[in-house]
Amino acid sequence: MSSRTPRAGTRRTAAILAGVVLAMTGAAFAAVPLYRAFCQATGYGGTIPKASRAAGRVIDRELVVAFDTNVHDMPWSFTPEQRRQTVKLGATSVAYFRVTNHADRPVTGRAAYNVDPELAGAHVRKLQCFCFDAQTLQPGQTVEFPVVYFIEPGFATDPNTRGYGDITLSYTFVEVKPPVAARTAAAPSRARNPVRGA
Alpha carbon distance 74, 80 (integer Å): 18
Degrees, nearest 5: CA angle 24-178-140: 140
pLDDT at 24: 62
In this structure, the chain runs to a length of 198
Query: Which residue ranges make up each domain of the chain?
Result: 6-42, 62-184
User: What are the Cα distances from residue 63, in Å, to 6, 57, 147, 170?
Assistant: 70, 15, 17, 16
| pLDDT tens, position by position, 148-176 | 999 999 999 999 988 899 999 999 999 99
- CA proximity to 58, closest of 154, 124, 142: 154
Degrees, nearest 5: CA angle 179-127-165: 115
Q: pLDDT tens string for the chain (198 positions)?
A: 555 566 666 777 777 776 666 656 554 444 444 434 444 444 444 455 676 677 688 999 999 999 999 999 999 999 999 999 999 999 999 999 999 999 999 999 999 999 999 989 989 999 999 999 999 999 999 999 999 999 999 999 999 988 899 999 999 999 998 764 445 555 454 544 444 443
- The separation between CA 157 and the C-alpha centre of its own chain, rounded to angstroms, equals 24
- CA proximity to 183, closest of 147, 136, 129, 141: 136
pLDDT at 191: 44
CATH code matching the domain that covers 62-184, chosen among 3.30.70.1380, 2.60.370.10, 3.40.50.300, 3.40.50.10860: 2.60.370.10
pLDDT at 8: 66
Residues 175, 108: contact at Cβ < 8 Å?
Answer: yes
Residues 145, 97: contact at Cβ < 8 Å?
Answer: yes
Phi, psi (deg, nearest 5) at residue 65 = -110, 120
pLDDT at 180: 45
Within a 10 A sphere around the Cβ of 87, how many other Cβ atoms? 19
